Amino acid sequence: DAGVTQSPTHLIKTRGQQVTLRCSPKSGHDTVSWYQQALGQGPQFIFQYYEEEERQRGNFPDRFSGHQFPNYSSELNVNALLLGDSALYLCASKTWTVYGYTFGSGTRLTVV
């Protein structure tokens, strides 16, 4: 089982650009959440997807959007990138009815 896989692993973008990050959940998982982890901080919840709908959202602006596909994979889109968006973006998956997430290794986004 490959667990949660994220792509790409590293990404460099210019301020003002748009970026798409991708996540494949662990086999059997149907719920995906995205987190932003700035250097030296704990992961901050962005949003959660289940049944292709956004179910919960953290305190992030509308520049952050997402999508979940019928195969449960997910994308995180960030528009109009700011320098402050530089962080490690984590995808986590689980089965809707159980607790405890399985995390991916993350995508390191650097905005210059």
Partner 1 sequence: AQRVTQPEKLLSVFKGAPVELKCNYSYSGSPELFWYVQYSRQRLQLLLRHISRESIKGFTADLNKGETSFHLKKPFAQEEDSAMYYCAPPGGSYIPTFGRGTSLIVHP
Q: How far is the CB of 74 from partner 1 (least distance, A)?
A: 15
Give dist(CA 100, CA 69) in Å, integer. 22
CB of 43 to partner 1, least distance (A): 5
4 vs 81, which CB is nearer to partner 1?
Answer: 4
Report DSSP state, residue 62.
Answer: T
Which tokens is 86 given? 């530089």
- CB of 14 vs partner 1, minimal distance in Å: 28
- Give whichever of 79 and 102 is closer to partner 1, judged by the CB atom: 102
Cα–Cα distance measured from residue 112 to residue 97, given in angstroms and rounded to the nearest whole number: 40
Beta-bridged to residue 21, according to DSSP, are 76
Residue number, 38 or 80, with CB nearest to partner 1? 38
With tokens 């650009």, the residue in question is 17
Interface with partner 1 (CB under 8 A)? 4, 33, 35, 40-45, 48, 55-56, 58, 90, 92, 99-106
Rounded least distance, CB 68 to partner 1, Å: 15
SS3 86: coil
